[in-house]
Structure 1
């Protein structure tokens, strides 16, 4: 018992809610919008409308969800949400004209910017694969989410480095699947026994210790 609790005799209790649905829905929505642009839905080829989503939904909201996950003691969720919040903030920076990132390649060798983005995506593919390994004892839903997200980053990286629009579109379709899985996981986390219904996340059986 802390010195404060000894004096107060009424220790404060945390009533922090589950930040998981916020992080998952924020990630899913931003991923879905960008992925639809990557597959050229409605003939959209310029993705800059996603900047607002990436800054405030996928970025800020997800980053905050990560901080709240730390408060609940969920290291895996905290690390994942904070990491992808930072990813979306950094991705938005690439698309903001005044950031100077895109303009730095104006006089560079053709294709250098695509290669740089490819390396950027490869680094996130590695991070996501590590989360995939960490999810193998969490739930089937999270395992599927990080599996498809790893594939999404891989295919998008290959498409950018090979300058192949069709491959980037393939990454976009994988991103749509990833977003739908994230929506499902978020809904499963949000619904409780007090709601009209619940949906399973696919818990793994307890590990045997004998």
Structure 2
């Protein structure tokens, strides 16, 4: 948009855009809270998936899943919507709901496991579908993240591999192949661990950007898509 003020509608558009930019400058950045909740919760689950210190049951992490991640990401997502970041809003909202749904499966009072008669083959296959379809959803985030930076690409790639291997683990468990299932679960946990560490790296990036004269590189890739962005007439929409 031109910096000059034209007649009628053009003036109104300029003023509206200026007010929106001024408003965004006054808003706090929701990124550290969102990525911190995301990374902390995912790291906890990944350690159990890899059976660290003989911990494999994830029930204790329901608090992280249904409160820390769910509320942290969902609240942050609303601020991203206010800031006009569609991609950020979609990603944070989606993972807030995923974490809540994942945690809900572990709450006994919900009766989800009992509905399948316990840990049956049908339950594991259904859980595998749940994980796999979120992998399909995450694939769109991975594709879209290419125009942001290398760290986001690696986060979504790690999540994609985690979800695929976790789904495979559930399917193998449903087939009664528990040894193979455990191997797939460990691999999935390793990719989840990688994504969580990258999430913490992102938190460091934003906190240093906010309070320290230190730049933590993210591997910007947006410069390769500037021509496409200008052609579409859209401004860059940063992820958190």
TM-score by length of 1: 0.89
| Offset at residue 33 of structure 1 (A) | 0.1
Which SS does the other structure have where 2:92 is aligned? helix
In structure 2, stretches of 5+ residues that fail to align are: 1-11, 17-21, 174-180, 232-240
2:187 is equivalent to residue 177 of structure 1: no
In 2: Cα distance, 1:59 partner to 1:37 partner: 19
Instruction: Report the aligned-residue RMSD.
Output: 2.0
| TM-superposition CA deviations, 1:56-98 (whole Å, max 9, x none) | 1111111111111111111111110010001111111100010
* Residue number among 191, 203, 207 corresponding to 2:220 in the alignment: 203
In the alignment of these two chains, the number of paired residues is 201
CA distance in 2, matches of 1:107, 1:139: 43
Instruction: Quote how far apart the aligned CAs of 1:106 are.
Output: 1.6
1:73 matched to 2:84? The reply is yes
DSSP-derived class of the 2:192 partner: helix
- Show CA shifts across 1:3-52 (max 9, x none): xx9xxxxxx94521111121111111100000101111110121101100
Distance 2:99 2:226 in 1: 38
Q: TM-score normalised to the size of structure 2?
A: 0.79
Whole-angstrom CA distance in 2 between matches of 1:208 and 1:85: 30
- CA radius of gyration, larger in: 2
Instruction: Kindly indicate which of the two structures has a greater share of residues assigned to helix.
Output: 2
1:38 aligns with 2:49: yes
Paired residue for 1:50, among 53, 56, 61? 61
Deviation at 1:196, TM superposition (A): 4.2
Match of 1:127 in 2: 137
CA displacement, residues 150-203 of structure 1 (integer Å, 9 cap, x when unaligned): 000000000110111111111111110111111112221232164142201111
